[in-house]
Structure 1
Amino acid sequence: MRTVLVLMDTLRRDVLSCYNPQTEVKTPNLDRFAERSCVFDNHWIGSAPCMPARRDIMCGRYNFLERPWGPIEPFDVTLPQCLRAAGAFCHITTDHCHYLRTGGEGYLQEFNTWDYYRGQEGDPWVSRIDEPDNMPETFYGRVREQYQKNRQKWPHEEDMPSPKTFQSACDWVEDNKGKDDFFLMVEAFDPHEPFDVPDKYMEMYGGKGELDRDYFETPQYKRVSDTDLNAGAVDYIQRRYQALVTMTDHWFGKLIDKLDENGMFEDTMIMVTTDHGYFLGERDYMGKNYMHLYNELAHLPFIVHFPGGARAGEHAHQLTQAIDIMPTVLEAHGCEVPREVTGTSLVPLMTDPDAPARDYALYGVHGMTVNVTDGRYTYFRAPVEGNQPCFEYAALPHTIRKKMGSDCPEKIECGRFFARTAYPLFKIPCKRPAQIESAAPLAEVAQTMLFDLESDYGQKNNLAGQGLPEEREMIDLLLRGLEEHESPAEQRERLGL
């Protein structure tokens, strides 16, 4: 059995024609891949943002109920670990810079081998004390000095990190053609910001247009109305994102061609998905993390080529999430699914379009709302005023670019807080979500919300607080989810439940 998992960071569902026939974004390679695969229409985010989503994939259970962004824990049972124990070879190639930062430890080391291509975002790579000579004089959003140094290292498209990641995957397939029993994870940071893309792709989408400044590739995570962005700048950043999706699609196509060329496509399970979406001006938002997990962020693409072309060209209606990837891959490889895994295997869907899967999906960012969908309704449960009690649980107390609990070491407890492990954990008071940098980190998620996706997919009409029986049903579903997924007990109090 062979499995290839392709993860493209920040790939919005609505740019793909298999989900949105009206899209203007050019993705010919993802389009032809979808035609040969099964398209999952009801795939939802789990833990957000980047590293929490990866721990969901690696461990087959939600990260966000217990801790924020962080490393693989010493008690985690991971997908590569299980596959390797059964004799499968596991390799990852990536340019996802967060793996090499504080809070991203331990993921790459789960694989037999790994490749990493440097330079994305603020990766501390090119070491020059002097300021780079390519800093723009006028710009919108943010400009990272370190990134400006890094980008001087790739004069051509093929030198850029995500293209090198896909080329590395092609080389790996060529070096291992004809081999069986492997798991290859191909993880491109693109189309995550900065939306850095060669001019030839921008020309497909109108070029610079009406941008009145020298540079705009990295938006601030703020409401558009709280920035200096004009309509031309919003239009420009949307087109930059579209252009980067097209470039990423081009290099993805090379991998699919290489698998075909070596006769390794048809009998390989190939999964294509993402970690989260992104706001590009919709609802007055730019970025992610600080707002409710509306569909622009939470309703995600998931396309699976099953071995032998099973269900090629079909759409699956079942609810799915990232935590379902681990049990699916393990079952497909003939491995036992560990008891710690709470995801659901999708292997039955290879042959039975009506096979049952999960009947709800939880999702969220640690310390913010906890959300649930049954596929018809989405329910966003806001925390009580003060957002307490709230704790972070970790054996390795690292989070995004910093250490957890450094502001309150005298209040940290240590004990055996999880039933699934005897490993001692730190229980760390959380006063503000780790991944939020704004001065008012919960301002945008203070309101509980309920939406009927059948009549209101755009989530404009909030039905919460009207005494509807559907809200009580969603609350019960949320409580059931917290119980079944072994949420820390104080989450209920924090959510006013």
Structure 2
Amino acid sequence: MNSIVIVCDTLRRDHCGPYHNGRPLNQVVSAEQPDWVIPTPNMDRLAQRGIVFDNAYCGSTPCMPARRDIYTGRYEFLERGWGPLEDDDLDLPRQISGPPNSSLNKQLDNGNPVSYFITDHFHMWEQGAGNYHMGYTGFEFIRGHEADAWRTDPVEFPCPESEKNTKLERHFRNVHLTRKSEEDYFCAQIFSKAADWLEANHTHDDFYLHLDCFDPHEPWDPPEEYVKMFDPRGYDVDRFIPQAPYDEWNKHMTEQQKNHVQACYAANVVLVDKWLGKLLDKMDELDLWSNTMLIFTTDHGTYNGDHGRTGKLQTHQYDAVAHIPFIVAYPGGEQGVRRDQLVQLVDIYPTVLRAAGKPCPPDRHGLDLTPVLESGTAPLRDYAISGMFGRSVTITDGRWTLHQSPNAENQPLYWYGTAVAKFIPYDLGPYVDGKRLVSDCASWPTPTWLSDKSTDPSELVNLADQEQKKAAELQQALKQTLVKLQAPSEQLERLGLQD
């Protein structure tokens, strides 16, 4: 069976039609959202082709840790933070296609399917994480997004005043020199090139195509006509903010400015959805639905006014960040249905290997979703977990969610593996016995938090003191889960779960 995996970065679940079902944003999860309805007809179209998972949760956050979850089938945040693949990682493309740097003919003769990677995700090849593409049979990078150090032409170009001395200056220089029409926007290029690859390569048996689309991650600069769908001013505003601060928004923006940020984000989602349709059209044209599994998801969401915040990385993995869209079209499976099993990004690894006819290595945290795709009553897991390295750890059963804060010292904490912290810095000691001591790792100043999402889907009310029995139950479940996953034992001590 062929497989296509599409990861759109920072895609909020409540902005996707299969989850908002035509409701205004402020009636889906968070009343702090605007009253807009976000049209995503192609996500709706995909949902009608497949299965919508209502209880999908990210694992490791933010961007690259989530990708290591996908590429290795293991939760990275329990052992390490943002970084590259390690030498001993059994990464997914190599498990499918075999050793890299061999001829295509030799690869196929050895019974290894073709894998291909298309991305505009700059972090995939920058220092500190730049080797995730190496295991594929082939790959294509679309240059210029975010902080990609690409064009250096000494020209005048429009750039928000706030970004002229930041890495985002690169983005605005790049797009000024290369963007001539909507077809040149990054997500348009991603899905157009994917459609072209399918046209040329769809006769390969059991191929694996992975699309990593940086949109709707900031910077948010979609075509003005899309912005005007949500803010009639378009870009005629007193201050254009292409990247919202990772903080309480009212410390940096007026309410009107925050509303414009929300409009630009929503417009970016609509743009992504439009060009997703280009790929779905090619699937229709080539009749690939009968032999191709397609997984559509994201790495995590983002705060966009929720909890008074914008951006990520500031506090617990509340619903706006942790609860993600996850839609699967499966050959021969049900269409237009929903599932309530708890699924996570680590599950992509064994599921794609099963589709490719390849064995799954031992010691993976992910679970093969095939039984669930074939039967709505198939069991999966009782709890999903998520977190960021060195911060709080979240566990949920889909209704109740516990965000367990570490102890005041946030110790002991070790960074496992040979890679060192670069993009997100940590104070690391010398490499000894496969790990490095992490010192001075401040955690969120937020207490352990318990939410009942059946009555409080945005998780605004902390019930940890009021529902002590339920909190203790989930703490015990978290302890048992970490032990089952063979997480580093010091995590129990750091989280106050060792007793």
With normalisation by structure 1, the TM-score equals 0.90
Structure 1 pair 140–319 and aligned structure 2 pair: CA distance change class (3 A) = farther
Instruction: Give the one of 11, 29, 33 matched to 2:42.
Output: 29
Letter in 2 for 1:377: W
Q: What is the aligned partner in structure 2 of residue 442 from structure 1?
A: 443
- 1:418 aligned partner: none
Distance 1:132 1:58 in 2: 40
Letter in 2 for 1:450: L
Equivalent position of 1:236 in the other structure: 260
Q: 2:225 touches 2:234 (CA, 8 Å); kept in 1?
A: no
After superposition, residues 73-152 of structure 1 pair within 5 angstroms as 73-85=86-98, 87-128=112-153, 130=154, 132-137=156-161, 144-152=168-176
The residue number in structure 2 matching 1:11 is 11
- Paired position in structure 2 for 1:481: 481
Cα displacement string for residues 394-452 of structure 1 (whole angstroms, at most 9, x for unaligned residues)? 212243277x65xx6xx41421xxxxxxxxx24242423xxxxxxxx5344x3000111
Q: Which runs of 5+ in 1 are unaligned?
A: 416-424, 433-440
Q: Report whether the alignment pairs 1:307 with 2:350.
A: no
State whether structure 2 residue 432 is matched by structure 1 residue 414: yes
Instruction: State the 1:459 CA deviation.
Output: 1.2
Aligned counterpart, 2:440: 431
> Aligned-pair distance for 1:492?
1.5
Q: Measure, in 2, the Cα distance between the counterparts of 1:64 and 1:131.
A: 42
Aligned position for 1:189: 214
1:394 aligns with 2:417: yes
Corresponding residue for residue 47 of structure 1: 60
Residue identity opposite 1:358 in structure 2? R
Q: State the 1:214 CA deviation.
A: 4.2
Is residue 2:471 matched to residue 1:453?
no
After superposition, give the CA deviation of every residue in 1:13-69 in whole Å (9 maximum; x if it has no partner): 001121112041111111111111100010001000000000000111100000001
Using structure 2 for the length normalisation, give the TM-score. 0.90
CA distance in 2, matches of 1:73, 1:122: 24
- 1:298 matched to 2:329: no
For residues 202 and 163 of structure 2, the distance between their equivalents in structure 1, rounded to whole angstroms, comes to: 47
Query: How far is the alpha carbon of 1:131 from its aligned partner?
Result: 7.3
> What corresponds to 1:356 in structure 2?
379
Cα-Cα RMSD: 2.1
Amino acid paired to 1:154:
R
Indicate whether 1:322 and 2:323 are aligned.
Answer: no
Q: Which residue of 2 aligns with 1:438?
A: none
CA contact (8 A) 1:37 1:311 kept: yes
1:175-324 equivalences under 5 Å are 175-208=200-233, 212-227=237-252, 229-308=253-332, 310-324=333-347
- What CA distance in whole angstroms lies between the structure 2 residues aligned with 1:60 and 1:225? 39
Partners of 1:282 and 1:399 lie apart in 2 by 29
Matching of residues 156-175 of structure 1 within 5 Å? 156-175=181-200
Deviation of residue 210 (structure 1)? 9.5
Residue deviations 1:241-284, cap 9 Å, x none? 11111111111100010111112123210000000001112211
**CA 1:454–1:138 in structure 2 vs 1: closer, same or farther (change >3 Å)?**
closer
Contact 1:278/1:286, CA 8 A, preserved across alignment: yes
Note the C-alpha offset of 1:11. 0.9
Name the % identity: 36
Alpha-carbon separation, structure 2, partners of 1:485 and 1:132 = 54
Q: Determine the C-alpha separation between the residues in 1 that align with 2:226 and 2:234.
A: 14
Hey, what's the Cα distance between the residues in 1 that align with 2:364 and 2:444?
Answer: 34
Runs (5+) with no aligned partner, structure 2: 25-36, 99-110
Inter-partner Cα distance in structure 2 for 1:458 and 1:59: 31
SS at match of 2:134: helix
Write the distance in 1 (CA, Å) between the matches of 2:357 and 2:270: 36
SS at match of 2:17: coil
Aligned mates of 1:282, 1:142 — CA distance in 2: 26
CA contact (8 A) 2:307 2:460 kept: no
Equivalent of 2:80 in 59, 67, 70:
67
SS at match of 2:301: coil
Distance in 2 between residues matched to 1:18 and 1:41, nearest whole Å? 10
Q: How far off its partner does 1:143 sit?
A: 7.8
